[in-house]
Amino acid sequence: MDSLLANQFIQAAITVFERVGNVSLKKTGLEYFPGGHKISAGIATILGITGDLKGQFVIVLNEDIALKIASAILMGIPVTVYDEVAESAVCEIGNMIGGEASRLLQEQGHFCDITVPSIVRGKEMEIAFYPVSPLFVISFNCEWGSVKVILRLENKV
């Protein structure tokens, strides 16, 4: 998997958080796992990648950040309970990041689409990627806390 592809998701996440929440997402780490990896998650939004590229990307965050995202999407209306509204907002931030990454990838000649997001949530949850395939795990930090974006692509471009 090419790190230039991962960079499009990095840029997309930074752009979307700035637009939606007026927060500066700063990359704090980039790890590459050629044989797959398990990721601990509180809340994870999983989206598929189809077209020229095939795989998934996952946004991992905690409940506090989910509530802040929901408030930002609702133009500042406080969201204090993780419910359907907060979950919808977490899905929407995934859609927005995926859409922006798709646009950036298309500019490089990689035509792809993003599937409808799904949410998984749990206190001590781990996400394992099967079949085992290479992953990028990108860590970010912002005023709201930490966020991870995981990128798995099935075929080398």
User: Domains in the chain, ordered, with CATH?
Assistant: 3-148 (3.40.1550.10)
Residue 155: its pLDDT value, please? 59
Of the candidates 155, 157, 145, the one whose C-alpha atom is nearest the C-alpha of residue 60 is 145
Residue 61: its pLDDT value, please? 92
Residue 94: its pLDDT value, please? 94
Residue 38 identity? K
For residue 113, give every residue at least 6 positions away whose Cβ sits within 8 Å of its Cβ, in sequence order, or none: 49, 50, 51, 102
Of the candidates 41, 46, 43, 66, the one whose C-alpha atom is nearest the C-alpha of residue 118 is 46
pTM reported for the whole predicted model:
0.89
Of the candidates 50, 56, 53, 51, the one whose C-alpha atom is nearest the C-alpha of residue 36 is 56
pLDDT in tens, the chain (157 residues): 577 888 999 999 999 999 998 999 999 999 888 877 777 778 999 999 999 889 899 999 999 999 999 999 998 899 999 999 999 999 999 999 999 999 999 999 999 999 999 998 877 666 666 566 788 899 999 999 999 999 988 755 4
Which DSSP category does 109 fall into? Answer: T
